Structure 1
Amino acid sequence: MEGISIIKWGNRYIDSYSYGAEVVIDKKETKFASPMMPVGAKIKTWNSIGNYSKNRISPLLPLLAANQYYEIGLYLEEAEQNHLQATIEFYDKFNNKIGMEYFENLKLVFKYPEEAASYKISLINQRHDVIVFYFLLIMNSSFKEKYELLINKKIGILELASHKIDESNEKLEIVINYLLRETSVIPLSNDKENRLCLFVNRGEDDFLKFLMNVLKYMKNGTKEVFISQGQNFEFLSRPYQLLPNILSSLFPSHNILSNIQSQESGQNDREIRKYVYIAQQMQQRISDVSN
C-alpha cells in the first residue's frame, strides 16, 4: 500500500457485536451502543481478507507490504465515559496467528511481519455508553516525513498537506477526494512539495467550512493554484464543482487552474456570488477579531 487508506465501519454486521447492540450507520459516522456487553468483547473487527464466495463479503483493509512501517489510527468522538482498546493480529498463509500488538490511545506504529499473509484490526470494549465512530486510517510511515495530517472529525474533513507548503510557495496543488466508499485508498507521491490533499466525508451542508479550510492555505506568496479531482469527486454536490470559480472571484490576482468542468448558468452564478459574499464576510470577522 503506497498511500493512505481511510476505512469506515462498513455496511455489514457479521464482524460486529450484535447481542443487544444498537448500530446506526450512515455516510458521516456510525453510532454503536451496547452498554451491557462484556469487558474484553470485540465491538468491531476489520479484515484484510474475505470469503466472497461464501458470504459475499470483500475485505475492508488494504494489503500491506512486508517489513514496511505503517501508522494506524481509529478516530472516534471523544467521550470520557468510553474506555476502549484496539489490537492488530497477524496471520500467515495457513491462517495461523503469528503475532499481535496493542494500540496506545487507539493509535499504533508497527512493522508488518515478513511472514504475514493477512491481518485484522479489532476495537475492544472496556466500558462505553455510546460510541461515535468516524473512520480508521492507515498510512505508510514514510509519508509522515513529507506530509502533515490534520483531521477535523466534526466536519468530516481530513487535510494531508506537504510540509513545505508555506508563504514562500508560489504554486499550490489542491486535490479533492470524496470518502464515498467503505474503503478509500488514495495514492500519494513523495515528490510533491506543494500538494494539499483534502478528503471530504460529508456533503453540501459542510461546504462553507470546507471552503474556509481551503482559504487558510491561500498564502500571500501564492500566485498559481491548480485544483484537481480526486477519487469520487464527481459525486460531490454542486458547490464543490464551483470551487475554482469561487476562488477566482475571491482572488482575482491569482492564476486559478483546474481540470474541473462546470457549465455556465444563472443558477451557478448566483451560487458563486453567494459563497463569495459569505466567505468575504467570515474573513472580515476573523480579521476584526485578530486585530
Structure 2
Amino acid sequence: MIDNKYIVNWDSIDKNTFMYGSCIEFDKGVMFENLLMPSGTVIHEWFMTSQYFSTRLVPSLPILKRGYHYKLEIKVESTPKNSVYLKIKFYRRYKSIIDSMTVTTDDFSFIYPEDAYEYSIELLSASVERFYFEYMTITEMRHSS
C-alpha cells in the first residue's frame, strides 16, 4: 500500500549548486552541462531543514517518519548513461552523521533511522558531461496488515 508521495524539484540555483564551468537551464526540469567536472563532485544538495535567516534557503525535502519505509525514485537522463548518482545522509540532532547511502539506480528503498533528526540528498557526478533532471519522488510505503 502506498501512503504519501512527495515530489522533489530542483527549481533554483543556490550555494549548494556546483556552478564552476556549468551551464544550467531551467524549464520543466533542469538541463545541466559541465564537460570538465571531476567525478565525485556534489552537483546539487537538498535539505529537510535549514536555518533560513543565515542561509536564505527554504527546506526542499519532506519530513520523514522514523522507522518508516520509503522509496526514492529519480527521473534523470545523463550522458554518459548512469553518470549521476545520489547520496542520502542521515543526521542526529546536532549534525553528526548516523548513516549515509549511495544510490546508483533510478529507484531505491530505505528505512528512515529511528534516531535520525534530519537528512539531506546530494546529486553527485560520476564523470557526467550533461544531464536532464526532471524530479525525484519520495514515497512512504506501508504494508497492509
CA distance in 2, matches of 1:136, 1:58: 17
Cα deviation for residue 80 of structure 1 reads 4.2
Cα deviation for residue 92 of structure 1 reads 0.5
Cα deviation for residue 18 of structure 1 reads 1.1
State the partner residue of 1:74: 74
* TM alignment of 1:29-68, pairs within 5 A: 29-68=29-68
CA distance in 2, matches of 1:16, 1:53: 19
CA distance in 2, matches of 1:90, 1:81: 28
CA distance in 2, matches of 1:13, 1:131: 18
Flag the structure with higher strand content.
2
Corresponding residue pairs, total: 142
Specify the SS of the correspondent of 2:54: helix
Cα deviation for residue 106 of structure 1 reads 3.4
1:104-131 deviations in Å (ceiling 9; x for gaps): 3132100000111110111110122211
Specify the SS of the correspondent of 1:77: strand
Specify the SS of the correspondent of 2:70: strand
2:7 maps to 1:6: yes
Could you tell me the percent identity over the aligned residues? 25
CA distance in 1, matches of 2:127, 2:58: 30
Do 1:22 and 1:34's aligned partners in 2 also have CA atoms closer than 8 Å? Answer: yes
Deviating above 6 A after TM superposition, structure 1's stretches of 4 or more consecutive aligned residues are: none
1:187-226 deviations in Å (ceiling 9; x for gaps): xxxxxxxxxxxxxxxxxxxxxxxxxxxxxxxxxxxxxxxx
Specify the SS of the correspondent of 1:116: coil
Q: What amino acid is aligned across from residue 19 of structure 2 in structure 1? A: S
State the partner residue of 1:23: 24
Q: Which runs of 5+ in 1 are unaligned?
A: 147-291
Flag the structure with higher helix content.
1
Do 1:81 and 1:129's aligned partners in 2 also have CA atoms closer than 8 Å? Answer: no
Q: What amino acid is aligned across from residue 73 of structure 1 in structure 2? A: E
1:250-287 deviations in Å (ceiling 9; x for gaps): xxxxxxxxxxxxxxxxxxxxxxxxxxxxxxxxxxxxxx
CA distance in 2, matches of 1:37, 1:78: 14
Cα deviation for residue 37 of structure 1 reads 0.9
Cα deviation for residue 82 of structure 1 reads 5.0
1:76/1:10 CA distance change after superposition, 3 Å: same
Do 1:82 and 1:131's aligned partners in 2 also have CA atoms closer than 8 Å? Answer: no
Cα deviation for residue 35 of structure 1 reads 1.7
State the partner residue of 2:116: 116
Q: What amino acid is aligned across from residue 10 of structure 1 in structure 2? A: D
CA distance in 1, matches of 2:132, 2:59: 22
Do 1:17 and 1:44's aligned partners in 2 also have CA atoms closer than 8 Å? Answer: yes
- TM-score computed with the length of structure 2 as normaliser: 0.90
CA distance in 2, matches of 1:45, 1:108: 18
Specify the SS of the correspondent of 1:123: strand
Cα deviation for residue 13 of structure 1 reads 2.2
CA distance in 2, matches of 1:9, 1:50: 16
Cα deviation for residue 57 of structure 1 reads 1.1
Which structure: larger Rg?
1
Indicate the RMSD between aligned Cα atoms, in angstroms.
1.7
